[in-house]
């Protein structure tokens, strides 16, 4: 939903970032307002995942230039946990397994950290169980997953559902979903997409990072961006995604060559 | 790792590091036969005990300090240690009201209130300060059930027959270097006797406090559970911060008769030295339980977080048919701490079973070794052992080793050993952080998850405490 007067939630300006001294992001500009759904597409190595990691504050990525403002404040000086508590959520492409840490306890601690920042009261074990069972419905997840260790022994689809469950619990303002569709069969994809749709609201925004059109069949984006060589090369509406499905990304090389980038 | 996660290798300040100013009755430094006699005389001991000490001392003189452990420390000067120190007060008091308030205050500060109003409601405590026991709570209530729980010195006076019957029968006075030393100079400790068929009505606990800077602590604990009896016992330990090392060489003996069960838990938090390895306790301890009777069970649970050096192998001799031995251990080392710890499961009787679960966590520049022996004797047909040894490394300067020894003389037996090593990864930490969980809390969640199998074995009252203790010890250690 595009409303030019909606709150500017995320303002990324000329963002540069490196990993192990290798520049990956080379001037990303992106503005995300409340109510909007953005799709960021592009080939492997274009910098899509790096953008998501930088926004969440992964310590391996170093910001070398530019700025990111979240609801008007500098996002880049905050620790990852502070960003999360303030409502920035990253859905991981490959959620890690954490043996020994109970999923339920993990979800409770993180939910309470977010609630505390929002001035809501802490949920004790019993209240939280009720709360989480309600949210499980969003992703049609079996409560048995709550008793396991975080992501341990989960299938690819179960891990992704666990990500969306976390999104449902944390009620983020800006959600960045990094290739949430990868490795999912069509049924799992629909469940995940329906979860994201249920959680969308005029007050929040999402950035979907994806290779493929098929996620965008389920979640309709307001904007589609094509990333290449560490920046956004082209921006359009949802029709751009359909066009990419037709023509692929070969034009990207031509355009980069024309600009003298490659 | 990068700047956001790099922290200095500093430990949380040790909050039990204070010294109690109290007048003590100390003998001169040094060890000789006269010193052994003096200790025995101070305690007005019966002759059999003096003979026990002298035999041990004479044997100790012939022994060499063992050097097979994966530990490094300068030679210990055994003549530079005080072997007996006691707070100056008269005979052990009949009532707590007569105990020096300074001592009560000390234990209050340690979180072990002894006074009638404040003490833990379902845990009986024996409080040992330097070389002597100063108070034991709930003695009368326990006595109603026939349970004896008192200081070792008191037991020597009131139950000499039991002491004579059991002392040194599990850990002989010539068992090893440190056990022989302890047998010669031990000063106090706890004695527990659970008579036939009695289930001890409350948790028993001994709290050991080293206070003097130049005193060694040599306590002796003896627990006997008669046929069908059961008891759960916990010991806790702290010491002030000194820049010298203090020697702690304890001996613990457990005896379980037919169908008896003893659960022995330790939360060891002796002063570990500073971040450069200056000061701290040398913890050289011999702990062994004997499942003497059929179907008896002995279970050791230890949470080892303190001491500059830890050298201990709580063991089970599974003599009775169908007896069961268990060892659950969490050993955490940080900074320059060194630990060489594990267990011995000696299967003698038929169908004996043992379980070993060891979790070693090494942070800072520390070194942490698991050393364990599983021995299946010729008579132990149908014996089974399961061992699991997991190590977790935090940072890239710490070391972990596993030395499992398996000896089987019985073809009809099964021994399983599993081992793993893991490192807390940056990606795991980032995952937790990106869900709003702070860095330190993320580490402590992962560590306590790693230790859960062991913490589940601790008595309820102490499991949460152990969790907190570990988090405290690791604060600032990941980077």
Burial of B237 (0-12, 13-18, 19+ CB in 10 A): buried
Contact in structure between A161 and A192 (CB atoms under 8 Å): yes
The CATH class of the A8-258 domain is alpha beta
pLDDT band for position B475 (50/70/90)? low
Contact in structure between B1 and B472 (CB atoms under 8 Å): no
Which residues 177-236 of A have a C-beta within 8 angstroms of B? none
Which chain B residues are closer than 8 Å to A85 by Cβ? 436
Interchain contact, A102 vs B2, CB within 8 Å:
no
Whole-number pLDDT of residue B443: 87
Rounded CA separation B171/B236 (Å): 21
Q: Which of B4, B359, B422, B435 to mutate to test the interface with A (most CBs of A within 10 A)?
A: B435
Instruction: Give the CA count within 13 Å in the CB-facing half-sphere of B142.
Output: 24
Interchain contact, A110 vs B436, CB within 8 Å:
yes
Q: Which of B359, B424, B436, B448 to mutate to test the interface with A (most CBs of A within 10 A)?
A: B436
Statement: residue B11 has pLDDT above 50: no
Q: From the list A58, A83, A98, which residue is nearest B428 (CB)?
A: A98
Q: From the list A60, A100, A117, which residue is nearest B452 (CB)?
A: A100
Domain boundary assignment for chain A: 8-258
| DSSP designation for B268 | E
Which residues 114-133 of A have a C-beta within 8 angstroms of B? 114, 117
Mean pLDDT of chain A: 93
Instruction: For residue B451, give the chain A residue with the closest CA.
Output: A100
Whole-number pLDDT of residue A79: 95
Residues 6+ apart with CB under 8 A from B277: B308, B335, B336, B337
Q: Which residue has the tokens 């026939």?
A: B146
User: pLDDT, tens digit, for every residue of B83-134?
Assistant: 888 777 655 555 666 677 777 777 777 777 777 666 666 677 888 777 677 7
Contact in structure between B318 and B343 (CB atoms under 8 Å): no
Whole-number pLDDT of residue B1: 30
Burial of B308 (0-12, 13-18, 19+ CB in 10 A): buried
Contact in structure between A38 and A244 (CB atoms under 8 Å): no
Q: Which residue has the tokens 């003896």?
A: B222
Whole-number pLDDT of residue B31: 92
pLDDT band for position B315 (50/70/90)? very high
Which chain A residues are closer than 8 Å to B428 by Cβ? 96, 98
Determine contact: A62 vs chain B, CB below 8 A. yes
Which chain A residues are closer than 8 Å to B431 by Cβ? 92, 95-96, 98, 150
Identify the CA nearest to B3 among candidates A81, A66, A17, A79. Answer: A79
Q: Which residue has the tokens 């031995």?
A: B325
Q: Which residue has the tokens 């409340």?
A: A34
Contact in structure between B264 and B314 (CB atoms under 8 Å): yes
Determine contact: B438 vs chain A, CB below 8 A. yes
Question: How big is the CA angle at B210 (ends B209 and B211), to the nearest 5 degrees?
Answer: 110
Respond yes or no on whether ipTM tops 0.90: yes
Rounded CA separation B66/B251 (Å): 16
| Three-state secondary structure of chain A | CCCCCCCEEEEEEEEEEEECCEEEEEEEEEEEECCCEEEEECCCCCCHHHHHHHHHCCCCEEEEEEEEEECCEECCCCCHHHHHHHCEEEECCCCCCEEEEEHHHHHHHHHHHHHHHCCCCCCCHHHHHHHHHHHHHHHCCCHHHHHCEECCCCCHHHHHHHHHHHHHHHCCCEEEEECCCCCCCHHHHHHHHHHHHHHCCCCCEEEEECCCCHHHHHCCCCEEEEEECCEEEEEECHHHHHHHHHHCCHHHHHHHHHCCCC
The pairing of strands A8-19 and A22-33 is antiparallel
Rounded CA separation B325/B222 (Å): 18
Calculate helix-pair angle for A103-117, A125-136, nearest 10 degrees: 100
* Low-confidence residues of chain A: pLDDT under 70: 262
Which chain B residues are closer than 8 Å to A170 by Cβ? 435-436
Coil, strand or helix at B437 = coil
Q: Which of A75, A79, A80, A122 to mutate to test the interface with B (most CBs of B within 10 A)?
A: A80
Instruction: For residue A171, give the chain B residue with the closest CA.
Output: B435
d(CA A253, nearest CA chain B) in Å = 33
Q: What is the mean pLDDT of residues B387-415?
A: 92
User: pLDDT, tens digit, for every residue of B340-394?
Assistant: 999 999 999 999 999 999 999 998 899 999 999 999 999 999 999 999 999 999 8
pLDDT band for position B447 (50/70/90)? confident
Identify the CA nearest to B188 among candidates B269, B129, B143. Answer: B129
pLDDT band for position B286 (50/70/90)? very high
Which chain B residues are closer than 8 Å to A57 by Cβ? 4, 433-434
Identify the CA nearest to B258 among candidates B295, B290, B224, B231. Answer: B295
Determine contact: A58 vs chain B, CB below 8 A. yes
Which chain B residues are closer than 8 Å to A149 by Cβ? 449
Rounded CA separation A220/A207 (Å): 12
Whole-number pLDDT of residue B270: 81
Residues 6+ apart with CB under 8 A from A117: A85, A86, B436
Coil, strand or helix at B241 = coil
Q: Give percent above pLDDT 90 in chain B.
A: 50
Contact in structure between B314 and B305 (CB atoms under 8 Å): no
Domain boundary assignment for chain B: 3-16+27-76+160-474
**Number of A–B residue contacts, CB under 8 Å:** 89
């Amino acid at each position: 939903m595009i409303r030019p007067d909606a709150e500017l939630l995320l303002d990324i300006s000329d963002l540069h970032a490196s990993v192990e001294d290798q520049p990956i992001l080379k001037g990303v500009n992106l503005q995300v307002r409340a109510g909007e759904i953005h799709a960021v597409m592009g080939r492997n190595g274009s910098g899509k995942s790096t953008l998501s990691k930088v926004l969440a504050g992964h310590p391996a990525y170093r910001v070398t230039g530019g700025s990111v403002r979240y609801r008007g404040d500098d996002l880049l000086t905050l620790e990852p946990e502070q960003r999360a508590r303030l409502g920035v959520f990253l859905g991981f492409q490959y959620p890690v397994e954490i043996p020994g840490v109970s999923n339920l306890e993990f979800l409770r601690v993180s939910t309470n950290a977010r609630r505390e920042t929002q001035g809501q009261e802490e949920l004790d074990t019993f209240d939280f169980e009720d709360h989480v069972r309600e949210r499980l419905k969003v992703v049609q997840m079996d409560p048995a997953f709550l008793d396991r260790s975080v992501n341990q022994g989960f299938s690819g689809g179960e891990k992704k559902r666990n990500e969306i469950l976390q999104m449902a619990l944390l009620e983020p303002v800006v959600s960045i979903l990094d290739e949430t569709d990868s490795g999912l069969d069509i049924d799992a994809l629909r469940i995940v997409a329906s979860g994201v749709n249920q959680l969308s609201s005029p007050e929040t925004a999402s950035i979907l990072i994806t290779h493929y059109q098929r996620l965008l069949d389920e979640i309709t984006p307001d904007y589609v961006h094509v990333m290449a060589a560490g920046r956004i090369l082209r921006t359009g509406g949802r029709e751009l995604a359909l066009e990419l499905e037709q023509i692929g990304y070969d034009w990207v090389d031509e355009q980069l060559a024309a600009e003298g980038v490659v | 790792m990068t700047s956001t996660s790099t922290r200095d290798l500093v430990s949380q300040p040790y909050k039990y590091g204070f010294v109690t100013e109290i007048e003590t009755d100390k003998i001169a430094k040094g060890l000789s036969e006269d010193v052994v006699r003096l200790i025995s005389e101070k305690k007005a001991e019966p002759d059999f005990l003096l003979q026990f000490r002298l035999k041990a001392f004479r044997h100790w003189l012939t022994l060499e300090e063992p050097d097979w452990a994966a530990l490094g420390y300068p030679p210990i000067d055994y003549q530079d240690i005080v072997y007996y120190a006691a707070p100056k007060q008269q005979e052990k008091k009949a009532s707590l009201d007569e105990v020096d308030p300074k001592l009560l205050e000390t234990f209050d500060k340690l979180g072990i209130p002894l006074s009638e109003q404040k003490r833990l409601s379902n845990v009986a405590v024996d409080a040992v300060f330097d070389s002597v026991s100063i108070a034991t709570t709930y003695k009368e209530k326990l006595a109603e059930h026939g349970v004896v729980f008192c200081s070792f010195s008191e037991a020597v006076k009131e139950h000499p027959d039991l002491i004579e019957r059991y002392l040194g029968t599990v850990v002989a006075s010539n068992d090893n270097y440190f056990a022989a030393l302890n047998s010669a100079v031990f000063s106090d400790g706890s004695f527990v006797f659970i008579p036939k068929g009695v289930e001890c009505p409350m948790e028993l606990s001994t709290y050991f406090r080293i206070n003097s800077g130049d005193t060694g602590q040599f306590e002796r604990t003896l627990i006997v559970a008669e046929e069908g009896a059961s008891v759960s016992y916990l010991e806790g330990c702290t010491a002030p911060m000194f820049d010298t090392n203090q020697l702690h060489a304890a001996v613990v003996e457990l005896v379980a008769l037919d169908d008896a069960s003893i659960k022995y838990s330790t939360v060891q938090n002796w002063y570990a030295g500073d971040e450069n390895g200056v000061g701290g306790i040398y913890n050289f301890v011999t702990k062994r339980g004997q499942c003497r009777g059929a179907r008896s069970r002995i279970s050791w649970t230890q949470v080892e977080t303190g001491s500059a050096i830890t050298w201990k192998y709580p063991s089970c001799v599974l003599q009775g048919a169908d007896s069961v031995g268990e060892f659950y251990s969490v050993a955490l080392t940080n900074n320059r701490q060194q630990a060489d710890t594990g267990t011995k499961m000696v299967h003698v009787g038929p169908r004996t079973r043992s379980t070993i679960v060891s979790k070693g966590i090494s942070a800072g520049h520390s070194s942490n070794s698991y050393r364990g022996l599983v021995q299946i004797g010729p008579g132990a047909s149908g014996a089974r052992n399961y061992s699991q040894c997991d190590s977790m490394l935090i940072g890239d300067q710490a070391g972990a080793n596993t030395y499992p020894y398996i000896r089987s003389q019985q073809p009809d037996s099964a021994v399983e050993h599993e081992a793993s090593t893991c490192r807390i990864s940056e990606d795991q930490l980032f995952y937790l952080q990106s869900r709003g969980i702070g860095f330190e809390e993320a580490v402590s969640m992962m560590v306590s998850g790693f230790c859960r199998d062991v913490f589940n074995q601790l008595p309820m009252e102490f499991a949460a405490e152990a969790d907190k203790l570990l988090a405290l010890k690791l604060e600032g250690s990941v980077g």
